[in-house]
Structure 1
Amino acid sequence: MTDSASFLLDKTIAMRILLTNDDGVFAPGLAALGQQLRHLGEVVVVAPATEQSGVGHSITFLSPLTCKSIRRDGQHWAWAVDGSPADCVKLAIAELFKDDPIDLVVSGINNGLNAGVNVLYSGTVAAAIEGAFFGVTSVAVSLEYDPDADFQAAAVIARDVVGGLVKRPEASGRLFNLNIPTAATLSPPHLSIVPMGLAQYGRMYEKRQDPGGRDYYWALWSEPEKPPAEHSDVTALRNGNVTLTPLQFDLTVQPLLESMDDWELEL
């Protein structure tokens, strides 16, 4: 890991970076990451006006989106959108910066890991997926939840990984999920390139009653019935490693699709 003062890429790969998140435009993780990404290029911020954690890939269709300029030190700093993370990326690429193409989308730093099947629920990852829809290299960044989370240290780690990715032609237009455990912000980090874990967490609820006697249910964190795969993001994070996982949004099961021609399904 390099220090921020010495980390400058060649001018030949200077870029315009769209920064967003799901914790909201005033989240500390967004500010820390923006500061570090400016070592890679121009950073434009388009983020939700309020926290949107867990909204997944929702898109606003039934109401208009408002977009407010947020100013700092007397200058425009960010656009705050009253929509989802995916809304922010779609609006930024298709409208706000349609004449100034976005070269890279980075979403985060989320306050809490987005590993394993949690990528399916995550607004942070959904924003990166939306960027990849447009053919833009996109990275979701998440930090293990900690009341004293060191977003500054995590932002340096994220900057180094993102800076390495954009140097690789094979990464162009691809989608990546980066997770940083607390341990990696306290000692020299190690990067593991691993698949997404498929163990299902959080299948339990606690049943309670409100003062009126009506039942309600509170989702609980619970371990999966089967342990996570040894070679996965979940396991590597437990070992204190930073994890990087390439993702894809094409959900088609290609081998099954090809074999289904022989199923003789008819109407």
Structure 2
Amino acid sequence: MNILLSNDDGIMSPGIIILKEYLEQKHNVYVVAPDVERSSTGHAITVRNPLWAKEVKFGQVFFGHAVNGTPADCVKIGLDAIYKNIKFDLIVSGINRGANLGTDVLYSGTVSAALEAALNGYPSIAVSCVKYSEPNYEDGAKVVLEIIDKLNFEKWPKFTTLNVNVPPNSYYEIRGMKVTKQSSRRYQDYFEERKDPYGNSYYWMLGNIIEDDPDPESDYNVVKKGYVSVTPLSVFMTKFDFIEELKKFLEE
């Protein structure tokens, strides 16, 4: 297959380098990724500034294109400009350093790159290693290969991506894969005020993780049990079970 590979940690991050190495064992891989880390940029795109795409080489070996934009920008420019003459079968985003569980998907550049691909009609996968310190990228890459081998991308539902979270276990200790739902895992934010040398206030946003979703099939619960969490996501966010009730108040 022809695979377009991107991320939000930047083109020089170990996660994308290792994933490309593994994917190239079986597939043709083309990299378009941010020039620097663009974590937590969500689905932002660049519309009022130009984008540069620069070739990146390791020694004399071409690796991919670095773009001065967001992860969604990278997918857009990769599909519509840099590699517009290539028919891609799959877009993969990652491997991210740290989890993308629950409401993380709203902020995640990793997931947004995959959703941008889905919005353009391509099958896509976002993959993250939940262990932020010393993430197990090689185990994550093996999981991605396994998922690709098992799925039929010719019968992929439109506007759909998979959000994959790999537990901290080694590959041979992972208990398997579980298809999950997006959990209500979220953050209770607070701001720590500090002073600069001139007495002006500035703030650091901090937060505590809230994990109160009792569903055993929710993403973080599955990961805690040592399984890979695979959550199908859509680009559309309509709250269907509220439509009829809302109509009673607004249309009658």
User: TM-score, normalised on structure 1?
Assistant: 0.85
1:142 Cα deviation after fit: 0.4
1:171 Cα deviation after fit: 5.4
Question: C-alpha separation between the residues in 2 aligned to 1:130 and 1:96?
Answer: 16
Question: C-alpha separation between the residues in 2 aligned to 1:258 and 1:96?
Answer: 45
Tell me the residue number matched to 1:49.
35
Alignment of 1:246-257 (within 5 A): 246-257=232-243
1:41 Cα deviation after fit: 1.6
Aligned length: 251
Given that residues 125 and 163 in structure 2 are in contact (C-alpha distance below 8 angstroms), is that contact kept between their aligned partners in structure 1?
Answer: yes
CA offset digits 1:23-71 (Å, max 9, x no partner):
1011100011111112342110010111000000110011100000112
CA offset digits 1:122-143 (Å, max 9, x no partner):
0000000000011100100001
Question: C-alpha separation between the residues in 2 aligned to 1:157 and 1:194?
Answer: 16
Moved over 3 A (4+): 170-173, 254-266
Query: Secondary structure at the residue paired with 1:234?
Result: helix
1:263 Cα deviation after fit: 4.2
Tell me the residue number matched to 1:205.
191
**Counterpart of 2:213 in structure 1: which amino acid?**
P
Question: C-alpha separation between the residues in 1 aligned to 2:240 and 2:58?
Answer: 49
1:245 pairs with one of 225, 231, 238: 231
Alignment of 1:1-267 (within 5 A): 15-166=1-152, 169-170=155-156, 174-185=160-171, 187-224=173-210, 227-231=212-216, 232-257=218-243, 260=246, 262-265=248-251
CA offset digits 1:74-108 (Å, max 9, x no partner):
24320111100000000111112222121100000
Distance 1:207 1:201, change over 3 A: same
1:164 Cα deviation after fit: 1.7
Given that residues 139 and 171 in structure 2 are in contact (C-alpha distance below 8 angstroms), is that contact kept between their aligned partners in structure 1?
Answer: yes
Question: C-alpha separation between the residues in 2 aligned to 1:74 and 1:47?
Answer: 19
Task: State percent identity of aligned pairs.
Answer: 35
Question: C-alpha separation between the residues in 1 aligned to 2:229 and 2:190?
Answer: 27
Question: C-alpha separation between the residues in 2 aligned to 1:18 and 1:83?
Answer: 16
Distance 1:167 1:62, change over 3 A: closer
Q: Return 166-175 or 240-249, whichever deviates more.
A: 166-175
Q: Return 153-162 or 251-260, whichever deviates more.
A: 251-260
Question: C-alpha separation between the residues in 2 aligned to 1:159 and 1:108?
Answer: 13
1:261 Cα deviation after fit: 5.0
CA offset digits 1:226-251 (Å, max 9, x no partner):
61233211112222221000001112
Higher strand share: 2
Given that residues 34 and 68 in structure 2 are in contact (C-alpha distance below 8 angstroms), is that contact kept between their aligned partners in structure 1?
Answer: yes
Question: C-alpha separation between the residues in 1 aligned to 2:192 and 2:171?
Answer: 34
Given that residues 69 and 78 in structure 1 are in contact (C-alpha distance below 8 angstroms), is that contact kept between their aligned partners in structure 2?
Answer: yes
Query: Secondary structure at the residue paired with 2:100?
Result: coil
- RMSD of the alignment, in Å? 2.2
User: TM-score, normalised on structure 2?
Assistant: 0.90
Q: Return 165-174 or 30-39, whichever deviates more.
A: 165-174
Given that residues 46 and 89 in structure 1 are in contact (C-alpha distance below 8 angstroms), is that contact kept between their aligned partners in structure 2?
Answer: yes
Question: C-alpha separation between the residues in 2 aligned to 1:38 and 1:219?
Answer: 39
Question: C-alpha separation between the residues in 2 aligned to 1:188 and 1:181?
Answer: 7
Unaligned runs of 5+ in 2: none
